[in-house]
Structures are given as structure tokens and as C-alpha cells.
């Protein structure tokens, strides 16, 4: 058994309250007492039991970060930013991965609340608002995705504008039949689809299809092959995430098509390979770090002031034009 505060008190010949005060560094403590306690702590290798502490305090210095896909570099980037901010405020971050599975999301949300975390950062998998009732008592900030008219803090990018710009780049490159591949039903997907669609207004190009699938690499690969084997295949493809794009770009290469001559290509996120494949890929880079930081800061504020007004922060994606969209 690990030593408890009692053991320390016994060794330092004082009460547990004194030990506690020394540890917390508050209240009045004599120099001699402090010294004795510190020695005892060191000698026993004492470390406070956070579970007891949390039970007592009815909260902990831990926040939960619920990611919909840990393999998505966009989310890992965010998690690093979150950790950084949290650390500065004295919080620790525990990460949960839902793999876009709303059952697991619910499970983790419950777990985190039952673990009495101080707050939760979430990129919700689906559009079902009821879910969030399960964590009603815990400060919660949404990032990357939000709900239509929710009363929760959120940090997202202007997905509609970004999708619009990306699609327009493809149109400007001379592509006529553009297929869009988006993640499954979510606020983000809807917004991007709006932007995608609105980009065609008053243009000669048209939509060759708007697809929503699970945002996994293999799904993107499968669908792309299917589309390109159609009787009238699209002449350009837009993917709404790095994972989808990886699968799609692989499909294009597997089918020995040339980009942009045979097929145009553009995607969200800035996959690690986007600059060194042939040709480099036009992308919307999401300010992942800024998103993570803002979300974490918002959560810290919400924890400290649960009744503050709701903030909805919208950041802008950055269009990076490369050769895959032709034109220029």
C-alpha cells in the first residue's frame, strides 16, 4: 500500500491537517513544521491520492478531450494545443477516442462525468442534441463541429466559406463535373456541403454528386474508385478531410489517372503528403492549433465562470493553392 497522509503525519509528528496545509501551501504553517513534513514526504515517497482529493473537492484538475478520430492528424494537432493551454492553467488532459461511434462517445462522456472531470472538450460525432443531456452538469465546449442552435460554447472554422473557396478553385481550374465527398451527417458536413453547392451558382460547372460516408481512408478509397468507374465519371473530386483524401488520392493513383489532366483534386486539411505527391494538392488548411487553443481557453473560462454568456468562435481556413486544381 502506498503511504497515506496519516503515515506522513505520524512520521512528521503532527496532524494530517498540518500535512495537508503544507502540501497545499496555504494557511499558517511554522517553518519547523513545514520542514518536518517535507522530510517525511520525501522519506516515504508520499504522493497524494487524487481520487480522495477529488472526492473531497467534488471536482478534479482534469479535463477530458473527446476525439472522434485519433488517427486524424487534424485532431492530434488539436490535442497538442489543448494540452499546452490546459497545462498552463494547471489542468491535465485525458483523451478519449470515439472513432466516430456515437455509442462510444456517449460511453466516454458518461465516464468522464462520473470521473468528475472539471470540463470536457468535444467534437461531437452526430447531430443528436439529446446526447449532451448526459453531461449537463459538466462544463462542455464543442470544437470543429457544433449543433445548429445549441447553447454551448464552440470553436469552429467557417466551413461554408472554406468549402466555397475550395470548390471555386476547382471551377476556376476548368473542371466541370465535380464530385464532393463528405463525412457522415454532422453540422460540419452540412456546412461544407452548403458551401460546395453555393459555389456552383452562376457557374458553368455542375455537381457530379454529393456523397456522405464514414470519414475513413478505406471508405474514401472505395467510393472514389466507384465514382471513377461510372459511365460519366466526375472530372474533379473534392474531399472534406485528410483521411478521405488519402483514400481518394490513392484510388486515383491506383487507377493510373493523371492529376489534374484526367481528374482535378482538392481537399480539406493539409495532409502531410500534400506537398510532395505528384502533383501537389490544393487544400484548405485548418488552423488546428488555434482551434485547440481557443477551445481550451474557452473551457477554462467556462469552468471558472459557469454562467458566462455562450461564445461561438469562428476561425477561417486558409486556402493553399497547388497544382492539383489546374488553372493558374
Partner DNA sequence: CTGAAAGCGCTAACAA
Partner DNA sequence: TTGTTAGCGCTTTCAG
Least distance to DNA, CB of residue 223, Å? 46
Least distance to DNA, CB of residue 96, Å? 21
The b-or-e profile of 180-205 (16+ CB within 10 A means b, else e) is bbbbeebbbbbbbbebbbebbeeeeb
Query: 303, 297, 271, 298: which is closest to 284 by C-alpha?
Result: 271
User: Do the beta carbons of residue 244 and residue 267 sit within 8 Å?
Assistant: yes
Q: Does 23 bind a copy of itself (CB under 8 A)?
A: no
Q: Does 66 bind a copy of itself (CB under 8 A)?
A: no
The helix/strand/coil state of 131 is: helix
Least distance to DNA, CB of residue 59, Å? 10
Tell which one of 6, 42, 128, 308 touches DNA (CB under 7 A). Answer: 6
List, in order, residues 6 or more apart from 60 with CB less than 8 Å away: 50, 53, 54, 115, 116, 117, 118
Q: How far is CA 153 from the centre of its chain?
A: 14
Nearer to a copy of itself, 193 or 252 (CB): 252
Nearer to DNA, 52 or 70 (CB): 52
Per partner kind, with CB cut-offs from 5 to 8 A, the member of DNA, a copy of itself, none near residue 32 is: DNA
List, in order, residues 6 or more apart from 17 with CB less than 8 Å away: none
Q: What is the 3-state secondary structure (H, E, C) of 34-46?
A: HHHHHHHHHHHCC
Nearer to a copy of itself, 96 or 213 (CB): 96
Tell which one of 25, 45, 56, 137 touches DNA (CB under 7 A). Answer: 56
Nearer to a copy of itself, 48 or 327 (CB): 48
Q: Does 217 bind a copy of itself (CB under 8 A)?
A: yes
CA distance 322 to 41: 60
CA distance 204 to 194: 18
- Give the other-Cβ count within 10 Å of 250's Cβ: 17
Q: Does 51 bind a copy of itself (CB under 8 A)?
A: yes
In the range 35-54, which residues lie near DNA by CB under 7 A?
48-49, 52-53
Per DSSP bridges, beta strands 282-285 and 153-157 are unpaired
Q: Which helix (H) or strand (E) holds 153?
A: strand 153-157
Q: Which string of x and - marks every residue 128-167 that binds a copy of itself (by CB under 8 A)?
A: ---------x------------------------------
Q: Does 33 bind DNA (CB under 7 A)?
A: yes
Return the C-alpha cell found at 28.
499558517
User: Do the beta carbons of residue 248 and residue 211 sit within 8 Å?
Assistant: no
Q: Which string of x and - marks every residue 238-277 that binds a copy of itself (by CB under 8 A)?
A: --------x--xx-xxx----------------xxx-xxx
Give contact residues for DNA (rule: CB under 7 A): 1-2, 4-6, 13-21, 23-24, 27-30, 32-33, 48-49, 52-53, 55-58
Residues that bind a copy of itself (CB under 8 A): 2, 47-52, 54-55, 60, 62, 70-71, 73, 76-77, 79-80, 83, 92-97, 99, 108, 110-111, 113-116, 137, 217, 246, 249-250, 252-254, 271-273, 275-278
Amino acid at each position: 500500500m502506498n503511504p497515506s497522509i496519516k503515515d506522513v503525519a505520524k512520521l512528521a509528528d503532527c496532524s494530517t491537517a498540518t500535512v495537508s496545509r503544507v502540501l497545499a501551501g496555504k494557511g499558517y504553517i511554522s517553518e519547523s513544521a513545514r520542514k518536518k513534513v517535507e522530510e517525511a514526504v520525501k522519506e516515504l515517497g508520499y504522493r497524494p491520492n487524487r481520487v480522495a482529493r477529488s472526492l473531497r473537492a467534488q471536482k478534479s484538475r482534469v479535463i477530458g478531450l473527446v476525439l472522434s478520430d485519433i488517427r486524424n492528424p487534424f485532431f492530434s494537432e488539436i490535442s497538442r494545443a489543448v494540452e499546452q493551454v490546459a497545462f498552463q492553467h494547471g489542468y491535465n488532459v485525458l483523451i478519449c477516442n470515439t472513432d466516430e461511434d456515437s455509442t462510444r462517445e456517449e460511453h466516454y462522456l458518461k465516464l468522464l462525468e462520473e470521473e468528475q472531470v472539471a470540463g470536457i472538450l468535444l467534437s461531437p460525432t452526430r447531430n443528436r442534441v439529446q446526447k449532451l443531456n448526459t453531461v449537463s452538469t459538466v462544463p462542455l465546449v464543442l470544437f470543429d463541429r457544433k449543433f445548429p442552435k445549441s447553447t454551448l460554447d464552440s470553436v469552429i472554422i467557417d466551413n461554408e466559406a472554406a468549402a466555397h473557396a475550395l470548390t471555386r478553385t476547382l471551377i476556376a481550374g476548368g473542371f466541370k463535373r465535380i464530385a464532393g465527398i463528405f463525412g457522415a451527417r454532422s453540422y460540419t458536413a452540412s456546412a461544407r456541403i452548403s458551401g460546395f453547392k453555393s459555389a456552383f451558382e452562376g457557374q458553368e460547372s455542375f455537381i457530379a454528386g454529393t456523397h456522405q460516408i464514414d470519414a475513413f481512408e478505406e471508405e474514401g478509397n472505395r467510393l472514389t474508385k466507384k465514382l471513377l468507374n461510372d459511365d460519366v465519371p466526375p472530372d474533379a473530386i473534392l474531399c472534406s478531410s485528410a483521411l478521405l483524401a488519402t483514400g481518394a488520392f490513392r484510388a486515383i493513383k491506383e487507377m493510373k489517372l493523371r492529376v489534374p489532366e484526367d481528374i482535378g483534386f482538392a481537399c480539406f486539411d493539409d495532409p502531410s503528403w500534400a506537398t510532395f505527391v505528384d502533383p501537389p494538392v490544393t487544400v484548405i488548411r485548418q488552423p488546428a492549433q488555434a482551434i485547440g487553443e481557443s477551445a481550451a481557453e474557452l473551457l477554462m473560462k467556462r469552468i471558472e465562470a459557469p454562467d458566462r454568456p455562450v461564445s461561438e468562435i469562428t476561425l477561417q481556413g486558409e486556402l493553399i493553392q497547388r497544382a492539383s486544381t489546374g488553372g493558374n
